[in-house]
Structures are given as C-alpha cells and as structure tokens.
C-alpha cells in the first residue's frame, strides 16, 4: 500500500484538474491519497469541511481511496482550544508551525495532530533540535517532506537549496525516523512515481529503507491511528456498525467492515463488538453437542432455582 497524504486543495482548485491528478496518482500506483486544505490561523467560527467527496462507482475510472485533511498554519501555541473541533471534521489534521514556540508545542503537547508539515523551501526561523523532534517521533507524530515544491519549474535555485538543507537538518535531528513523504502537488505535474521519490530523497540524505517506509508503513500508521481515534473508543474498541434486527444487522456489519478497510484499514485490526446479538437468536450457529450442554445447564439452573424457592 502506497500513501500520498498531501494533494493540495483549495476552494479555487478546478474539479477537472483535481480529478486528473487523482486519476494519475491511481495510475502511478498510489492506493490512498489525502486532499489537503490549508487553513490560516483564525479558525472560522463555523467549522465545515469544504472538500468534495468522490463516490466510487464501478463505471468511473479507478481512483485511490481519498481522505480529507486539514493543515493548520500554527503560530501561536496559546490558541489551541479549537483544534479538537477542527480535527473532528477532517480525516487527518496536520500542523504547520511558523515559530519556534509553535514547533515545540506541536512536537510535545498537541494531541490532535499527528503530522508536522513544514514548508521546507523557505528559511525556517528555528533549528530542528534532536530532543523535541525525537520526542515527537516517539509520541507518534510524523514529519512530512513535500517534494512537489522543488520539482515545479517555478522553484528557483535558492528555494531548492534551502529545501535540501532543511531536509538534511531534519534527517540529522530525527536520524531518518518518523518521516512521511508526500507530494503537495498543486497540479498533475507535481506527482512522481514512488520509486522516483525514494531515489530523490535518497540523494537528499534520507536512508533508502526509511524513505520506502515513509511512503508505506509510516503513512499507514498515521492514517490508521487517526481513523481509530475518530471512530473508536480509546484505541481498544472500534464500532464498525450497529446491529439491526435479524439478518439486517449482519449485513450492516459486513458493509461497515468494508468501509473501515477503505479508510486505510481502520477497521482491520480492531475488535468488533457490534456483533448482532438478536441476529444470533434467529439462526443459532451451535453444534448439537453445545446445544445439549446448554440445555443441561438451563435445566440445572431451573432445578437449583426451584430449590431456592422451596428453601425460601
């Protein structure tokens, strides 16, 4: 499974271009992509998710599974009380810290965001120190490297140099761990095939196997974690569907499971609790031996209950 957790989206993006990008990313072999909406600091009072949804139908051309993600430009760590609401409206939430304090807070404190996405092609006002970076990686927060910014013909030599320098710093601080590679493509020409991406970041100093991980396992970890956080209860139980009456409950549960799979396997490794209780009464999957045992137990109960009544 290959992931591309950042395809830029804004209200002005033309749907044709977006669809083209998605179809091309499917043909390059990406399985899950996330459309990214960048939000500047004052979070609007009414949080809504403007990213369009793409219903999958068998007749339409194949598209990857599409997640919806928000990136918050984050400069003031004191204003974080609305982040949970923002996180609940989107499938993924990333932070783009603008100052050193914000970076520290994003690394150490903020629970809702699982990605730190920095604009590496501009000079950052802080250094990556190993301690907060490694703390973030141990907490499960991943750092994102977006490569489309350097690939576009508009990028000048200075921006490229800054980008490579920043990547080298980031690799030094995290020792290559906890990196996620994504495109942040604004058009179809910003996308590259997975092998090309791995080679590119290898040239920039990321170890090869870490780069492969950044396209697959690390990105999957983020998606699955976020999925569990939104649908599950404390990461232990995942409700994938509610039991209805009889066979209906079963069918629902099945569908729910498949949906979970589509959302990046959120339902795959979770405990299913919503097994139709009423459904089991209608068609008992018991063997004869078990049925006999049950009957015997019931009889015993009756007898003992009668005894108790007599004693009373």
Partner 1 sequence: MVRIKERYLLVNILYPTEIGTRPNVPDVVVINQPTTDQLTPVVLLRGIRAEVANLFGDYGSGAIEGGSLSVKYLSQATSTFILRTSRSSYRFVWSALSFINSIPVKNGKPCIFRVVHVSGTMRKAEEEAIRRARDLIFAAQNGQNEP
Q: Which residues bind partner 1 (CB under 8 A)?
A: 16, 19-20, 23-24, 26-28, 61-62, 151-153, 188-189, 191-193, 195-197, 199-200, 202-203
Closest distance of CB 265 from partner 1, Å:
21
- CB-nearer residue toward partner 1: 89 or 199: 199
Contacts of 54 (CB under 8 A, 6+ apart): 22, 63, 66
- CB-nearer residue toward partner 1: 184 or 238: 184
Closest distance of CB 262 from partner 1, Å:
18
CA 240 to chain centre: 17
> Residue 113 and residue 184: Cα distance in Å, rounded?
18
- CB-nearer residue toward partner 1: 43 or 155: 155
- CB-nearer residue toward partner 1: 6 or 231: 6
Q: Give yes or no for a contact between 7 and 34, defined as CB atoms under 8 angstroms apart.
A: yes
Give the single-character DSSP code of 53: P
- CB-nearer residue toward partner 1: 16 or 308: 16
Closest distance of CB 9 from partner 1, Å:
17
Q: E-strand spans in 249-312?
A: 271-272
- CB-nearer residue toward partner 1: 202 or 251: 202
> Residue 87 and residue 297: Cα distance in Å, rounded?
50
Closest distance of CB 27 from partner 1, Å:
5
Closest distance of CB 117 from partner 1, Å:
21
Give the single-character DSSP code of 185: B
Closest distance of CB 187 from partner 1, Å:
8
Q: Give yes or no for a contact between 246 and 282, defined as CB atoms under 8 angstroms apart.
A: yes
- CB-nearer residue toward partner 1: 203 or 277: 203
- CB-nearer residue toward partner 1: 42 or 58: 58
Q: Give yes or no for a contact between 235 and 227, defined as CB atoms under 8 angstroms apart.
A: no
CA 260 to chain centre: 12
CA 286 to chain centre: 39
User: What is the Cα gyration radius of the chain?
Assistant: 25
Closest distance of CB 112 from partner 1, Å:
34
User: What backbone torsions phi and psi does residue 301 show, to the nearest 5 degrees?
Assistant: -60, -45
Closest distance of CB 204 from partner 1, Å:
9
- Matching residue, tokens 């690939």: 151
Strands 232-233 and 237-238: antiparallel
């Amino acid at each position: 499974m290959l992931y591309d957790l950042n395809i830029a989206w804004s209200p002005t993006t033309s749907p044709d271009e977006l669809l083209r990008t998605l179809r091309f990313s499917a043909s390059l072999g990406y399985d899950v992509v996330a459309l990214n909406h960048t939000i500047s600091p004052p979070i609007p009072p009414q949080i809504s998710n403007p990213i369009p949804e793409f219903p999958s139908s068998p007749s339409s051309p194949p598209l990857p599974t599409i997640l919806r993600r928000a990136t918050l430009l984050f400069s003031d760590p004191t204003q974080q009380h609305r982040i949970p609401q923002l996180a609940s409206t989107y499938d993924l939430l990333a932070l783009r810290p603008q100052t050193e304090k914000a970076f520290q807070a994003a690394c150490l404190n903020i629970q809702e965001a699982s990605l730190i996405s920095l604009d590496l092609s501009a000079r950052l006002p802080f250094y990556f120190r190993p301690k907060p970076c490694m703390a973030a990686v141990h907490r499960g927060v991943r750092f994102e490297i977006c490569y489309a910014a350097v690939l576009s013909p508009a990028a000048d030599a200075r921006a490229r140099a800054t980008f490579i320098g920043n990547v080298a710093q980031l690799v030094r601080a995290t020792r290559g761990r906890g990196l996620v590679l994504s495109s942040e493509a604004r058009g179809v020409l910003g996308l590259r095939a997975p092998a090309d991406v791995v080679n590119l970041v290898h040239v920039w100093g990321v170890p090869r196997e870490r780069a492969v991980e950044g396209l697959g396992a690390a990105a999957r970890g983020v998606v699955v974690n976020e999925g569990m956080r939104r649908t599950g209860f404390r990461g232990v139980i995942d409700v994938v569907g509610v039991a209805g009456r009889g066979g209906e409950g079963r069918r629902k549960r099945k569908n729910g499971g498949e949906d979970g799979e589509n959302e990046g396997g959120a339902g795959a490794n979770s405990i299913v609790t919503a097994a139709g209780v009423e459904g089991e009464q209608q068609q008992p999957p018991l063997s004869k031996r078990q049925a006999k045992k049950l009957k015997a137990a019931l009889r015993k109960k009756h007898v003992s209950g009668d005894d108790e009544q007599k004693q009373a």
